[in-house]
Amino acid sequence: MVTPSPFLKAALDAGRAFFRPPAAPAAPAPQAALQGPAVSRRATVRVPIRSIGPRHGERISAHLLALGPQDRYLRFGYAANDEQIRRYVDGLDFERDEIFGIFNRKLQLIAMAHLALSTDPELKSCAEFGVSVLAHARGRGYGARLFERAEVHARNEGVDMMFIHALSENTAMLNIARKAGAKIERDGSESEAYLKLPPADLDSRMTELLEEQLAQNDYRLKVQAKQFWDWLALVQEVRRGVRDSRHRIQR
């Protein structure tokens, strides 16, 4: 379970990073699996994960449309085309379900999870988990962190069974569920992972409260930092234009 100290450390790190320019994205990972290679040591760093709502619809679409054909196949269980992805995003129920996201300093949604609460009256205490991570952001443990975040939220919402429906070849996703203690049942090309959740307690409620507060603060800092760097880039562009004009006049 998360303790407050990592959140304080992450908040300080975010403040120090405020005035560093956004870094260029790393080269895409060669692996085609949804979560990429095994988690590296960097996965021990806490990453802010925030709830996202309807106003982030365009970023959600951009994130999913950026997935390659194999990643779309693993995420949705079929080779979803652009139109099918847009319909999926349009059909998200932000009132019932919960969407979690990880943003980089360019405010790009690099990893997201969808916790869908059951609509079956007989299975009201169940929820399904789905996750996707962009190729260049893999190997950092984001998939596992999103699963942890969704698990805590599900507990606090009264969910006692969390499950994942995935293709059997999506070993990365199934490994995340297995490490969390889920029971996995394989049926040919498809697998189901079931995780029994304990009831909510003070620890789970405080954990979610702290996580969300940190993530919201982190996002606001990233918005302000992006505005600053965008403004600075505009100023530099204007200066270059003025300098070029002077050179032309002098000639």
- Token readout for 136 is 């260049």
Cross-strand pairs, 128: 116, 163
Q: How many CB atoms lie within 10 A of CB 5?
A: 9
Nearest to 134 by CA among 31, 17, 226, 218: 31
Q: What structural domains and CATH numbers belong to the chain?
A: 4-17+27-250 (3.40.630.30)
Q: Is 164 helix (H, G, I), strand (E, B) or coil?
A: strand
Cα dihedral across residues 4, 19, 138, 115: positive or negative:
positive
Per-residue pLDDT of the chain (251 residues; tens, 9 = 90+): 444 445 445 444 544 444 455 554 444 444 334 544 333 333 445 799 999 999 999 999 999 999 999 999 999 999 999 999 999 999 999 999 999 999 998 899 999 999 999 887 777 789 999 999 999 999 999 999 999 999 999 999 999 999 999 999 999 999 999 999 999 999 889 999 999 999 999 999 999 999 999 988 988 888 788 777 677 777 777 677 667 666 666 66
Put residue 182 in one of left, alpha, beta given phi > 0 → left and psi -120 to 50 → alpha.
Answer: beta
